Amino acid sequence: MSKIVVYGSGCKKCHKLYDNVLECLKLIGAEADVDYINDMNVIIQKGFMSLPVLEVDEKVVSSGKLLKVKEIQILL
């Protein structure tokens, strides 16, 4: 089971990315551990500067972009 984390500051774009990830998982019928982190300290410690960031298995796959469901599917 893969571990997916969405980092965001709580803005609209970040929430939408989280929703899209969930929708994508439902669509492809995969199980994953999805987390949404909006703790600024964690984000700063990670050194992220363009939000939202999408991490799959501790690897950054996208930053600063609101990905569509289809685009997420390719990255998973």
Q: Which amino acid is at 21?
A: V
In the bound state with another protein, the residue whose beta carbon lies nearer, of 16 and 34, is 16
18 touches another protein (CB under 8 A): no
| Cβ atoms < 10 Å from Cβ of 65 | 14
Residue 70 as a binder of another protein (CB under 8 A): the answer is no
Task: Tell me the closest approach of the beta carbon of residue 15 to another protein, in angstroms.
Answer: 11
20 near another protein, judged by CB under 8 A:
no
CA torsion angle 54 44 58 52 (round to 10): 0
14 counts as catalytic: yes
